[in-house]
Amino acid sequence: GAVVSQHPSWVICKSGTSVKIECRSLDFQATTMFWYRQFPKQSLMLMATSNEGSKATYEQGVEKDKFLINHASLTLSTLTVTSAHPEDSSFYICSARGGRTGFLGQFFGPGTRLTVL
Amino acid sequence: GESVGLHLPTLSVQEGDNSIINCAYSNSASDYFIWYKQESGKGPQFIIDIRSNMDKRQGQRVTVLLNKTVKHLSLQIAATQPGDSAVYFCAENQGAAGNKLTFGGGTRVLVKP
């Protein structure tokens, strides 16, 4: 149980285009979803927290107009990287909380590798 | 700001030996801690968690120890196997900040056959 999926697993796009990444909780309803980015050989950096039906809360330094987050249902959150540039190339990972009573941790998706040319 | 950090970036261990991964945290208000395992190109996988009112918790081949006095967390892996090779992250739950997780820098564990 508590499986989180992401789509696509990898994407290559041209500079200036937008890319949408989907995050789904497959067998539970996620009260909260999170988006992280991870550069090679580095730790996970939280970008934003998303609750179903409300606006996402972005971490300091993360541009909300560039990284659009939509959390339309208890099982789906999307991250859209708008006007992508090479410096946006990274490993984007979502996570979800819920599905296990008393568990304060998060279940992570497999990640999406974004390469911007 | 406060953060979670690790003492050792890389740990090489002989197959069959025990592994110990250490983590220091600085936020005394943290109430919950988790260890994750991340294999190359994959998302983090939950290993074990511990609440701040405990000092030890055991799982299958893994044990987490929490020392709140010195703000130290460790993960012990018994009889390390090749499949244990990965990067291990400790994460600290900030309940007062909306239950967000702050991740440590990570420790790479290399299991030698």
CA atoms within a 13 Å half-sphere pointing along the CA-CB vector of B77: 26
How far is it, in rounded angstroms, from Cα B96 to Cα B76? Answer: 28
pLDDT at B43: 96
Q: How many residues does chain A have?
A: 117
Per-residue pLDDT, averaged over A36-49, amounts to 92
State whether residue A24 sits within 8 Å of chain B by CB. no
Structure tokens at A38: 């991870």
Residues from B contacting A (CB-CB < 8 Å) are: 32, 34, 36, 41-46, 49, 89, 91, 93, 95, 98-106
If you measure CA to CA, which chain B residue comes closest to A5?
B43
Is pLDDT at A29 greater than 80 in this prediction? yes
Of chain B, the percentage scoring pLDDT greater than 90 comes to 74
Are B100 and A93 in contact (CB < 8 Å)?
no
pLDDT at B7: 46
Within 8 A by CB and 6+ apart from A66, the residues are A81, A82, A83
* H or E stretch at A33: strand A32-38
Are A6 and B43 in contact (CB < 8 Å)?
yes
pLDDT at A99: 65
The residue that leads in pLDDT, B58 or A74, is B58
The partner residue sitting opposite A110, judged by closest CB among B42, B91, B106, is B42
E strand map for B1-113: 4-5, 10-14, 19-25, 32-38, 45-51, 56-58, 62-67, 72-77, 86-94, 100-103, 107-112
If you measure CA to CA, which chain B residue comes closest to A93?
B43
Query: Which pLDDT tens digit goes with each residue over B1-40?
Result: 334 544 448 999 999 999 999 999 888 889 899 999 999 9
pLDDT at A72: 83
Of the listed ranges A26-30, B68-72, B91-95, B101-105, the one predicted with least confidence: B91-95
How far is it, in rounded angstroms, from Cα A18 to Cα B26? Answer: 38
pLDDT at B97: 67
Average pLDDT over chain B, rounded to an integer: 90
Give the best residue of B53, B90, B103 to mutate against chain A (max A CB count within 10 A).
B103
Tokens 């996970």 locate to A44
pLDDT at A1: 67
Show residues of chain B in contact with A96, CB under 8 Å.
Answer: none
Per-residue pLDDT, averaged over A27-41, amounts to 91
- Cα angle, residue B94 at apex, residues B19 and B61 outer, rounded to 5°: 20
Grouping H, G, I as helix, E, B as strand and the rest as coil, residue A73 is: strand
Of the listed ranges A21-35, B2-16, B57-71, B74-88, the one predicted with least confidence: B2-16
Query: Which pLDDT tens digit goes with each residue over A97-112?
Result: 986 777 778 999 999 9
pLDDT at A2: 85
If you measure CA to CA, which chain A residue comes closest to B95?
A104
DSSP states of B64-84 as a string? Answer: EEEETTTTEEEEEESS--GGG
Tokens 């508590």 locate to A2
If you measure CA to CA, which chain A residue comes closest to B45?
A108
Are A105 and B89 in contact (CB < 8 Å)?
no
Show residues of chain A in contact with B47, CB under 8 Å.
Answer: none
